[in-house]
Amino acid sequence: MSILDYFRSSKKANTATVAKERLQIIVAHQRGERGAPDYFPLMKQEIIAVIRKYVHISEEQVSVQLEQNDDNLSVLELNVTLPERN
């Protein structure tokens, strides 16, 4: 690195680290839905719609994951972050 680079880069955040963190989340999410049945995306949307009838939440607050534990057992995991009651 040159002396000029040093001053230039010291001001900027390390964007590669940000990229890596974002990708780790995206890829984990994509892989979670992999191998899921074709009806899965629609079912997920409908589950979210049902919850929304009762509580005000955004899509990011719901995670629906299908986990293949072994050949004849998979687990549907539903995680909802509910807004605080007040």
Where do contacts with another protein occur on this chain (CB under 8 A)? Answer: 1-5, 8-9, 12-17, 19-20, 22-24, 26-27, 30-31, 34-35
CA-CA distances (angstroms) from residue 18 to 6, 15, 24, 46, 60?
20, 5, 10, 32, 19
Residue 27 vs 55, nearer CB to another protein: 27
Q: What are phi and psi of 83, to 5 degrees?
A: -65, 150
CB of 67 to another protein, least distance (A): 16
CB of 85 to another protein, least distance (A): 37
Residue 17 vs 69, nearer CB to another protein: 17
Q: From CA 47, how far away is CA 62, in angstroms rounded?
A: 9
